[in-house]
Structure 1
Amino acid sequence: MSLLDLPNELLLQIAQDFTHNDLAHFLLANRRTAYLFQHLLERLALDPKDNLTALHWACSRGHLPLAKLLIDSGFDLNEKCQTLGRTPLHFAVAANSEEIVEILLTAGADPNVRNNTGSTPLHWSTLCGSYGMSARLLEHGAGVRIKNSAWMTPLHCALEGAVEALTQLVTEQGIETPVDVDTTIVPVPKEEYLRRKKVVKLVLDNKPWLDAQDKAGLTALHYAAKSGRTSVAKWLLERGADAYVRDGNGCTALEVAEFVGHVKVAGVLREHYEKEREPLWNVFVGNVLEVIGIGG
């Protein structure tokens, strides 16, 4: 006699002790068991898994149908997991699930909840170079001036992610010298660079704190200088970034660019210095001439 020959009531009683794999096999057996065990599966879906709530787990796996079910069931959208203090939004961003990020935000998830290292989901999405998720988070009020425990803002993260991605591209191709990716003739794939450049511009367009310094004293302009992001350096300077800020080692962005070997970024910064110094010099000379009776 097969288990499938048993009455529904007895099957349900037996199924209480089934493992997830057992249930999966029965679901594939026929429509009757699939319908019969549906409520049991829904109940199991609500149980914690791997020390995470069911919603944390679903978001971490990018499991869209389960995430929808749990959100509709009234799960706390902003609950932090016990170990790392991450919310479902953090997990969805880490899983690169733009769809789950969207339904969480639409359902009212707070994009500015910080994890145990002080990072918001926007810190993560900008670090990963995800334009879509970063845009969704910003549309729902994510803060661009929030610092994490390393004193990094989302702009720092966007530029740091670009540094890591470009370094990996250069390393994979065996290029030993620094590469200015805006003008290089070296055949470095630009897809990753262009994607991250788009994320950086997105953050810049949302009025970030341009001169915020991380724990190493680095501003966004320092990050642009060390990663060879000429166009980003120009954007920052045009928006009023202070090129005279020194990092924890006492270096300006120009000195960082020169040390790393990004010639074009260094040129942009030198040109900026000259433009700023010229009117100051003219004022100084005019004052001196006036004092000695030659001016006027």
Structure 2
Amino acid sequence: MSLLGLPNELLLMIAEQMSSSKDINAMAQADRFTYALLNKYLYDQNIRKSGSSALLWAAKHGQLGTAQRLIKGGANIETYPGPLFQRPLHVAATYGNVEVAQLLVDHGAKITFLDGHFKTALHHAAENGHAAIVQMLLRHGHLLMEQTNHLVPETPLHQAAKYGHAEIVRLLLAAGCKVNVTKFGTGETALHLSLEHFKHQIRHKGKGKKISVKKRDARKAKTAVLLIEHGADVRALPRSNKTPLELAIRVSYVDVVRHLLKKGASPNVRVSIIYSNLPPSPTFPFSTYTPPTTTIMDLAKSCGNNEIIYLLHDAQNKMYATSRNTL
């Protein structure tokens, strides 16, 4: 007699002796009859013995039907079997699966829980560019968490600005995010982060290939302009002492330089000369060493962007003309 010819009771007893969900699933896939018999048992077994871990899988892969069956069967929507304390809502937000995220929120998932990285679901959605999830979380009253600290150094606005997600920046600002909140430890605003280059800056987890450097720069420049238009402090100085104008010149964001100068950034400030290979010196330890400075114009010339050089010349001439008229 074949395995499939056994009575239902015996098939269920065999399934109960299997410790691996993978083995039970393989048995369930034998034909339609075993699938109908064992599929519900497979869900129940995951809920009872595996801490509802399948709900994390459904959240990652956008399997709405699986998530619905698990929740209907009593799955714990706040399960976090892994070491990073990521709940299903964090995972759905990271991978942009809005239907699963909505289902979880509708069934009571806490939208302000922090995971092992001390990030909420809104942080993950903002970081990875998932505007639909950001909208949904804001619609359900997600707290903006404007206060940064040693555990949560960046706000969702910082995350969106850092990775060049202009649409999400717009949504967060419209929801009331304060544009000049500083990152804990560095004093950087969202504007500073939008003008700095980091590794893996534009990420869409589970959503295809990485974008080109050119497209990345276009997105980050657009994000910076948006922040400036919404009142970002164009003269803000973080601990690195790099103004937004200096950062924009270093990455050759011409349109950003234009907007910064228009909003009052000074074309006459001095900037530090950075020596990346400067060795430690007992005569000048790093704690007391003051790097040499140069003018912002010389910095622009060293970067070789003629459009930026012209903008700085024009701003200097206008500033000079204004100062003469006031004498």
- TM-score, normalized by length of structure 1? 0.72
Question: Post-superposition shift, 1:81?
Answer: 4.2
What is the alpha-carbon distance in structure 2 between the residues aligned to residue 80 and residue 6 of structure 1?
38
- Which digits, 9 at most, give the CA deviation of each residue in 1:238-260, with x for residues without a partner? 33322221011112211221233
Query: For residues 21 and 104 of structure 1, do their structure 2 counterparts lie closer, same or farther at Cα, with a shift above 3 Å needed?
Result: closer
Cα–Cα, structure 1 residues 257 and 13, in superposed 2: closer, same or farther, change >3 Å? Answer: same
Q: Can you give the 5+ residue segments of structure 2 that lack an aligned partner in the other structure?
A: 197-216, 267-317
Q: Is the 8 A contact 2:235 2:265 kept in 1?
A: no
Q: What CA distance in whole angstroms lies between the structure 2 residues aligned with 1:23 and 1:208?
A: 48
Shift of 1:75: 3.5
Amino acid at match of 1:97: N
Q: Which residue of 2 aligns with 1:152?
A: 154
Residue in 2 aligned with 1:203? Answer: 172
**What is the DSSP-based 3-state SS (H/G/I as helix, E as strand, rest coil) of the residue aligned with 1:273?**
coil
Cross-structure match for 2:188 = 218
Work out whether residues 47 and 54 of structure 1, in 8 Å CA contact, stay in contact via their aligned partners in 2: no
Q: What residue number does 1:236 align with? A: 227
SS at match of 1:56: helix
- In the other structure, the counterpart of 2:313 is none
Distance 1:2 1:138, change over 3 A: same
CA distance 1:241–1:197, change in 2 (3 Å): closer
- Distance of aligned partners of 1:138 and 1:48 in 2 relative to their CA distance in 1, 3 Å threshold: farther
In structure 2, how many angstroms separate the alpha carbons of the residues matched to 1:52 and 1:6?
A: 29
Does residue 75 of the first structure (1) align with residue 66 of the second (2)?
A: no
Write the letter of the residue equivalent to 2:161. L
Which residue does the alignment assign to 1:126?
Answer: 126
> Per the alignment, do residues 15 and 211 of structure 1 end up closer, same or farther by CA in structure 2, a change over 3 Å counting?
same
Q: Which one-letter code corresponds to 2:127 in the other structure?
A: L
1:8-87 map, 5 Å = 8-18=8-18, 19-47=20-48, 49=50, 53-81=53-81, 83-87=83-87
In structure 2, the residue matched to 1:258 is 249
Q: Per the alignment, do residues 140 and 65 of structure 1 end up closer, same or farther by CA in structure 2, a change over 3 Å counting? A: same
Equivalent pair of 1:125/1:134 in contact (CA under 8 Å): yes
The alpha-carbon deviation at position 82 of structure 1 amounts to 5.2
CA displacement, residues 179-233 of structure 1 (integer Å, 9 cap, x when unaligned):
xxxxxxxxxxxxxxxxx32222222221212111113221012123445645444
Q: Say which SS state the counterpart of residue 264 (structure 2) adopts.
A: helix
Q: Please, which moves more after superposition, 223-232 or 207-216? A: 223-232
2:55 and 2:124 map into 1 onto residues whose CA distance is 19
* % identical aligned pairs: 30
- C-alpha separation between the residues in 2 aligned to 1:30 and 1:200? 50
Q: Deviations over 1:236-285 (max 9, x none)?
A: 3333322221011112211221233223212211111179xx9xxx9xx9
Structure 1 CA distance for aligned equivalents of residues 265 and 13 of structure 2? 82
Contact 1:79–1:87 (8 Å) recurs in 2 = yes
Aligned equivalent of 2:310 = none
**CA distance change for structure 1 residues 245 and 48 in 2, over 3 Å: closer, same or farther?**
farther
Tell me how many residue pairs correspond in the alignment.
250
- Secondary structure at the residue paired with 2:17? coil
Per the normalisation by structure 2, the TM-score is 0.66
More divergent stretch after superposition (125-134 vs 81-90): 81-90
Pair 1:81–1:38, CA change in 2 (3 A): closer
Higher deviation after alignment, 22-31 or 210-219: 22-31
- Aligned-residue Cα RMSD (Å) equals 3.2
**CA distance in structure 1 between the aligned counterparts of 2:160 and 2:16, rounded to whole angstroms:** 48
Q: Which amino acid aligns with 1:205?
A: A
